[in-house]
Structures are given as structure tokens and as C-alpha cells.
């Protein structure tokens, strides 16, 4: 038994990509406000992992779900969105570092020249 006297079924426990990636919005949407701690700079990086691990349990405790199947159907949407956002974020970070690496390599090899056109 956990918060509000609600027992969390074993099938509900597990990783929640929606709570991990959209922690603040996910928390407000699920009426669980611990994810708002992600607004604290520095602490937010650690807390987003806590949200991912505990998100399903918090949502079950605060929600009014009839059964586990209904809960899982709602969670599936959040999980799909979270996974897509995670993949997009990783791709963006990889492209960013490739771009910066290409610029630094170009500068170090002397291939980067500043051209000033005066008319």
C-alpha cells in the first residue's frame, strides 16, 4: 500500500518514457506534482530518472482507473510520445556534436577562411 491507501499492482510498475521525457507536463496531466521538482536546475537531471522509474506508480495512485488494461492503454500513448522525443533528442545531440566537430576540424586544418566581400 502506498500513497492515498492505494495498492499498486505489480503489472503497473515499470519504466515510463512519458514521465521521463515530459516530466513536468506529465505530472500536471496526471495530478502528481513531484515531477515539478524537475524545475530545479541541476537536480532536474537526477529527478527525471526518478520520474521515469516511479511515474507509473504515481499515475496509478492519483488516477481513477477501473483496471490495469485501461491504465496500460493510457500509458501507451505517453510512452510512445516519450520514446519518439528521446530518439529525436539523441539524434539532435549527435548531429550537434558532428557539426561542431566538423567546424573544429575545418578550423584546425586551415580550410576555414573568413571571406569579406566589399562592394
Q: What is the pLDDT of residues 7-18, one digit of tens each?
A: 888 888 899 999
When pLDDT is cut at 50, 70 and 90, the band that residue 1 belongs to is: very low
pTM of the entire predicted model? 0.75
Distance from C-alpha of 8 to C-alpha of 6, rounded to nearest angstrom: 6
- Counting runs of H as helices and runs of E as strands, what totals does the chain give? 4, 0
Q: For the segment 98-116, what is each residue's pLDDT rounded down to a tens digit?
A: 999 988 888 888 766 666 6
Looking only at Cα atoms, what is the longest distance across the chain? 77
Percentage of the residues of the chain whose pLDDT score is greater than 90: 53
Q: What is the pLDDT of residue 119?
A: 62
**Which grid coordinates are listed for 55?**
511515474
Amino acid at each position: 500500500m502506498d500513497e492515498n491507501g492505494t495498492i499498486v499492482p505489480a503489472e503497473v510498475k515499470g519504466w515510463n518514457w512519458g514521465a521521463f521525457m515530459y516530466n513536468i507536463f506529465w505530472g500536471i496531466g496526471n495530478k502528481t506534482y513531484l515531477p515539478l521538482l524537475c524545475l530545479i536546475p541541476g537536480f532536474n537531471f537526477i529527478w527525471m530518472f526518478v520520474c521515469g522509474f516511479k511515474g507509473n506508480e504515481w499515475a496509478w495512485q492519483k488516477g481513477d482507473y477501473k483496471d490495469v488494461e485501461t491504465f496500460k492503454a493510457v500509458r501507451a500513448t505517453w510512452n510512445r510520445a516519450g520514446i519518439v522525443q528521446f530518439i529525436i533528442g539523441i539524434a539532435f545531440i549527435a548531429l550537434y556534436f558532428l557539426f561542431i566537430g566538423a567546424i573544429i576540424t575545418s578550423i584546425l586544418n586551415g580550410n576555414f577562411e573568413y571571406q569579406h566581400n566589399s562592394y
